[in-house]
Structures are given as structure tokens and as C-alpha cells.
Amino acid sequence: MDFRLYSSGSRNAAIALGGLLLAASCFAQTIKLGMVNSLTGPHSSFDLPASEGVLMAVDEINKRGGVTVKGKKYILGVVSEDAQSKPEFAVSGAQRLLRDDDIKVVFGILTSGPGMAAATALGKAEVLYFGGFTLMDTLLGKPGAELMLRTLNNDATVAKSFIPTSVTELGVKKIGVMLPNEDVSRSIVAIYKPLLEASGVQVTMVEYFQPDTQDFAPVLRKFQNQGLDGMLTGTNDALVEAILRQATELGGLPRKFMYRGGSGAPALKNAKGVDGFTWQILTRDLDNASDAKVKGWIDAYKAFTKKDVSPNTYWALTFYDTVFMMAKAMEEVGSTTDVKAIAAKVKEMKYDGVRTMRFDKDGRAQSDIDIGMLKAGKVSSVRASAM
């Protein structure tokens, strides 16, 4: 059994970084970046790749010579804290980062539980915070949140392209909604239901199940024999995979699914029972990369982390481009510490990296996304614009 320390990739990177720092310390100063992520626990499937993406970007920037601000060379260093998928540790991790006065920029957290807690702590301090969790959206645009940016599109933006495309591709007319009993789900329903109805689809049922359910039979049975031809479900791979699998086992259920979030893995694993499946890839589809930039990035990822691409690897692109944007902003603004100016600069930028990144004035990301599709056994994806 391969005894994998799943942080070994990041550890190697950190060692390499350390070596680089040691060598370069004679010649350049270091800009310290803070990173708080759930490296352990159930949320690590999102956060761990995201952290790898940051480390990758930092490594590339340092290899090409670092950041040059006002003629002085700087290299980037990363201080990483583990949120352990729990709000308390997210806060204490954030606090540990904040004690270091050199850290002015923090990346991290893609899940709302730890995320809201950490954001509350980070919001009280003068640091530039790039986050990814859904409920961050409720914080943006309010006074005091000028230094917060979310690098993933919010539901409202995503749904506008996701729903019409899915409805057309799948050809559904009457669907049911099945989501875990969380705050995020209610906001999903509030956004998606009207859009579905506007696309000519009837939404006859909305059911919430306990978030840590393993046995979906009782809930699925509510959808049986209702004349439904599709379902909207979410919010992470583990859940949807189980739902699909049990749906095919029970029989009498719709065979077309729209998945808010995640990847195509659930459908691929249950291909026999599924007629159509669409999902949202909030960064870039890595499994069907036709784009040269994406392919290049995949190779770089494999070389950097010594790991293969998994269904969750695309989360590594959450912050990857943003690190470059931050570096560029620092160079253009001429400061590594004036976070207000750097934030403002990042919000003005349009960056064509692996993703096309743009932020609005409140710090909400508006990048394009990919919509994955599985139809008649074939996997494909469609790029959708964010506007």
C-alpha cells in the first residue's frame, strides 16, 4: 500500500521553496503570503488542491525571477495553516497568520463553515484576503469588505449560463430538487428555481436531506413514480455519487441530472444508470482539455506535485491565476504592503491566465466557467461566458 502523505507534494514544494529562499535570501527579500486551508478533514478535497495551486504559482513566479517592485527584487514565501475543516481551527489558523505582521495577503478556504469563521477574523485585520467559499458572497459589497475577494463565480452568475445550457442539452421538462439541508442549499433553490421555470421547466418537488446521510433510499423514494424526467442535486462529489448510485439501484427514478458543483465523476462511475448529466466546473475542465494553456498547466501540476490528475484537481485553479494577478498588481502599484491599492488594482485587471479572471468592484469573480456534460456515454464540455 502506498503510504501517501497527501501533503507530501506540498511538503516537497515547501522544502524546495525553503531551499530557494535560503539561496536567494542574500539577493532578494521575501514577501510572505499566508494560506489557511482545510488540509485535513472532509473539506480537504476542495482545499488541498487549492493550496497546491497557490504553491505552484508561487514556485513559478520565483523561478522566473520573483516580483520586481520599484527596482527591488522580491521572492514569495508561503506560510500555511491547517483549518482541519472546522471553524475554530480556521479562526486560530487565521490568527496565527495575523500575528506575523509581515503577512499582508492571505489565500484560502473553499467551504463556508470554516470560511465564514475565518473571514470574520481576517476582516477585522488589514489584510488582503482571497477566498473561495460560497457564503463569502454575502460578505462582499458591504463596508469593511474592501479587502476581500472571492475568486470563484457565485451561484447567480454561474446559474445564468448553466441552466439554459443544461435544459437544452438534457431536454428535461419536469424536475425535482434534492439538496443537503444547509444554508447554501436554500440560496441555491432561490436562485435556480426561477431560472429553471424561465427556461420552461416545471419544478414540482424540493427535498432536503441531512448533510451526512449515507442511505438515500427514504428520500429518493419520495421522487419515485412522480413523472419526473430529471433532478437537480448537489453539493459535493461524495453526496452526488452516492445519490446516483442508489438511484440506479432503486429504480423508478429519473435518469437525467443537473449537478450544482463538483465534477463528472459521479456520472462516470454510474454511467449505466444515467442518460444525461451536466455539472459545473468553476475553473477549467481538466479531463477534456482542448486548450493549450490548460494542457500546459496540467503538465506543470504533475511535475510540481508528483501526483496525477484526479477529479478534484481542478480546484487547484481557484487561486492559481490570482497569485499572478497579485504579483502583477504589486509591481504596477509599486508596493508590497499597500493592500488597499493592490486590491483596487486587482479589481481593475483583466487577466488571461489559465482562466480568464476579472473581478467586479465588490470583489466578486467574473471568470468564465466550463459546463461538463455526459450524454449517451460521451463526455464533453462547453465553455460559458460569465457575463
Which residues sit at the interface with other proteins, rule CB under 8 A?
1, 3-7, 39-42, 44-45, 82, 86-88, 91-92, 95-96, 98-99, 112-113, 116-117, 120-121, 135, 181-184, 207-215, 217-219, 221-222, 224, 237-238, 241-242, 245-246, 248-252, 269, 272-273, 310, 312
> What nine digits make up the cell of 100?
506575523
CA distance 149 to 355: 16
Closer Cβ to other proteins, 2 or 376, answer by number:
2
Closer Cβ to other proteins, 177 or 325, answer by number:
177
How far apart are CB 38 and other proteins at their closest, in Å? 9
**b (16+ CB within 10 A) / e for 285-306:** bbbbbeeeebeebbebbeebbe
How far apart are CB 139 and other proteins at their closest, in Å? 10
**b (16+ CB within 10 A) / e for 42-72:** ebbbbbbbbbbbbbbbbbebbeeebbebeee
Q: Which residue has the cell 474592501?
A: 146
How far apart are CB 12 and other proteins at their closest, in Å? 15
How far apart are CB 19 and other proteins at their closest, in Å? 17
Closer Cβ to other proteins, 45 or 278, answer by number:
45
Closer Cβ to other proteins, 41 or 164, answer by number:
41
Closer Cβ to other proteins, 126 or 352, answer by number:
126
> What nine digits make up the cell of 178?
434534492
DSSP character at residue 361: T
> What nine digits make up the cell of 83?
483549518
CA distance 316 to 283: 9
CA distance 316 to 64: 20
Give ∠ CA 162-185-177 in degrees, rounded to 5: 65
How far apart are CB 280 and other proteins at their closest, in Å? 20
Closer Cβ to other proteins, 5 or 303, answer by number:
5
How far apart are CB 99 and other proteins at their closest, in Å? 3
Sorted by sequence, the CB contacts under 8 Å of residue 130 that are 6+ apart come out as 105, 106, 107, 108, 149, 150, 151, 319, 322, 326
How far apart are CB 222 and other proteins at their closest, in Å? 7
Closer Cβ to other proteins, 252 or 296, answer by number:
252
